[in-house]
A and B are shown apart, each in its own frame.
Chain A
Amino acid sequence: MPLDPTLHVERLRAWRGEIPAAHRYTVGPAGERFFRALRDEGRILGTRCNRCGITYVPGRLFCERCFDELHDWGEVGPAGTVEAATALHLGPDGAPLPRPVMLALVRLDGADTVLFHYLDELGPAAATIGLRVVPVFKPVAERTGSILDISYFRPA
C-alpha cells in the first residue's frame, strides 16, 4: 500500500464509543389483555387460531401462519411440561455467574407454543424434558404487568 503503514504496534489506535439506546416498548393490544390478566388475576391467557388449530400463549393479535385476527381468548395451564432446559453459567454481559441460572421452554397445558422462563426450586428433580411444572407468581402487590409477574416455574 503506498501510504506508509504504521509499523509500531503501540501506536495502533481504537476509538471508543457507544450507541446510546434506551427504549420504552408498548405491549400492544393483545399484550394489554394478556399482561392485565396475568397481573390482576394470575391467569395465563392464550388465543386460538381455529383455522390453523393452534393456541398461542401468550395470546396474540394475529396468527402468523394464516394472518387471521385472533379473538378466541382462553385460559391455559397453569401446569405445563418442560420441552427443553439449560443450566446457564454466563451472565448477560458474558461474565461467569456465581451459580447457574436454570432456563426452560415450558408448554402449558392447552397451549401449542412454549414460554421461555426460569426454573427454580428443583429440589431432587432433574431439569429434564418432560418434567411437569407449575408457575410461581409474584405476590399480587409486586406484579407490574410483566412476564416477570411469573417469578419462575417449579416442579409440580
Chain B
Amino acid sequence: MSMRRAAVVGAGMTKFVRRALETPKELSWHAAKLALESCGLTLADVDAVCIGSAPDAFDGVHMKGEYLADGSGAWGKPVMRSFVGGGTGVFLGPQGWYHVASGLFDVVLIVAEEKMSSYYPHAQAAFLTIFDHTTERPLEPNLLWIFALEMNRYMQTYGISKRDIAQVAVKNKRNAADHPAAMLGEANITVEDVLSSEVLAWPVQRLDVSPVSDGAVAIVMASEDAAKRITDKPVWVQGVGWNLDTAYWTNRDLAYPEYVERAARMAYEMAGVREPRKEIHIVEPYDPFDYKECHHLEGLLLADRGRAPELVADGVTLRTGTMPSCPSGGLLGVGNPITAAGLMKIAELFWQLRGEAGARQVPGTPERGLAQAWGGLMQVGTVTILGTERPA
C-alpha cells in the first residue's frame, strides 16, 4: 500500500523564559497562532489537534491535555495528547504523521507546551515521582541521580573525560545566541567555565545542564494535497520512529541508548536512509545535559560508540561543520521547557531546510535533517526525519 505523505508547512514559538507571565493556555495559543499565521491558515482550516506536554505536575493541572485544549486550538475538534516523557516533543512528529497518513485528516495543528515555573519551589522536585514508588522513591532520589549515573557509566565505559563533554555545552550556548527565543544567558562560556561550575551530582555540574523554562512551540502538518495548496516549500516527513525500553533501568547498559538506535533504525528504514552519516545533513539530538548529545549521536548511528566527543572536538558538529548538531542552540542554549524544547527541534529543521533560519542558517543547502528526543527512565527514543525531497 502506498503511504499517504505528510509535510510540515508552518511553525511558530514563544520565547523560552525562566518564569512566564502567560498561563499555559496563553503560551500555547501564542505558539499555535504564530504557526498558523506562518502558513496563512486560520483555525477554521485545522481538522485535528495534537498536544504534547510533559508531567502534569509541572503546569500543576491534572489531565493537562484537557486543560490545554482551548489554547491549542481544539475547540470542537478532535484532539489527543500523547505522552512519552521527555521524548514527547519529538514524538509529536510521529503522532502528527499518523494523524495525516491515516487519511483521516488533512491539516493537523501540533502544539507543545510546558510551564515548569508553576511548580514550587522548584520544578526538579516533581521528578521524585518518576522513580518506582515502592523500590526507589523511599531512597529520595532526585532527577540528577539518573543522569549522573548514566553519564558516569558512559564516561567510564569509553574513557571519556568531562573536558571532552563540556565542549557540547559551549557549542550549544554559543549557537543559541542567534536564537530569538533563547533564554538570556552567557553565550560565550568556555570549557573551563563548565568544569569550574558548581558540582550538582558528580559528574554533572551546573553548566552541563539545560535550564528549566516556560514556553510553547507549534507546527502545522498537512497531507500532500493540502501542503501543496498551502506552500510551495513543504518540508516532508520522511521518517518517524519511536521506541520504549524496559522500566527496569538498573537492569540495562547505561553506556549506550539502545532504544534510540531502535527508534532511529525505524525512522531510517521508513526514510530510505542507508548511510545516515552521509544522508543526514543537520541533526538536532536531545541535549538536556551535554553528555546526552554525545550519547544520542551514537545511538542515532551518527558517531561510533564512545566517539561522539571526538566529533565535537573536531568541529564536525559546529554549525559550520560537516554535520551540524543542535544549530538551534538546543536545550542547553535556548532553554528546556521539556516538550516544547523537543518540538523546537522539529521546528528548527523546518526553518533550516527552508533556508529561513536567519543567523542560525547552516551553510550549503541541507536537504535532510533529523530531530531526536529522549525520555522516561533512560528508556524512550523518538525520532523525526524531515527533508525537502518528497518521499517515494
Contacts and interface: CB of A to CB of B under 8 A. Distances in A.
A28 B26 contact: yes
Contacts, number: 67
B129 to A, nearest CB: 5
Interface string B76-91: 1000000000000000
Contact of B134 (A15, A19, A25): A15
A15 B33 CA distance: 45
Interface string A23-67: 111111111100000000000000000000000000001101111
A123 interface: no
Interface stretch (B120-128, B157-165, B302-310): B120-128
A141 interface: no
Interface in A10-27: 15, 17, 19-27
B118 A62 contact: no
B96 to A, nearest CB: 19
Nearest to A15: B134
Nearest to B33: A67
A67 B26 contact: no
Contact of B23 (A17, A31, A64, A67): A31
Interface string B125-150: 11011000110010000000000000
Contact of B21 (A21, A26, A62, A69): A26
A20 B127 CA distance: 10
A22 B120 contact: yes
B370 interface: no
A61 B33 CA distance: 12
Given A28-B26, A65-B75, A67-B33, A15 B133 contact: yes
B120 A66 contact: no
A23 B57 CA distance: 9
B249 interface: no
B244 interface: no
A67 B36 contact: yes
Interface in B75-121: 75-76, 118-121
A17 B137 contact: yes
Nearest to A67: B43
Contacts of A67: 29, 32-33, 36, 42-43, 73
Interface residues of B, number: 31
B36 A27 contact: no
B26 A23 contact: no
Contacts of B43: 65-67
B114 to A, nearest CB: 14
Given A21-B119, A23-B119, A67-B32, A62 B26 contact: yes
B22 interface: yes
B70 interface: yes
A23 B134 CA distance: 25
B60 interface: yes
B26 A29 contact: yes
Contact of A26 (B23, B32, B125): B23
Interface of A: 15, 17, 19-32, 61-62, 64-67, 69
Given A21-B126, A67-B73, 12 more contacts: A17-B137, A21-B57, A22-B119, A26-B21, A28-B23, A28-B26, A29-B21, A29-B26, A61-B26, A61-B29, A65-B75, A67-B43
Interface of B: 20-23, 25-26, 29, 32-33, 36, 42-44, 57, 60, 70-71, 73, 75-76, 118-121, 125-126, 128-129, 133-134, 137
30 contacts: A15-B133, A17-B137, A19-B57, A19-B129, A21-B60, A21-B119, A22-B120, A23-B118, A23-B119, A25-B118, A26-B20, A26-B21, A27-B23, A28-B23, A28-B25, A29-B26, A30-B26, A31-B23, A61-B22, A61-B26, A61-B29, A62-B29, A62-B33, A64-B71, A65-B43, A66-B42, A66-B44, A67-B29, A67-B32, A67-B73
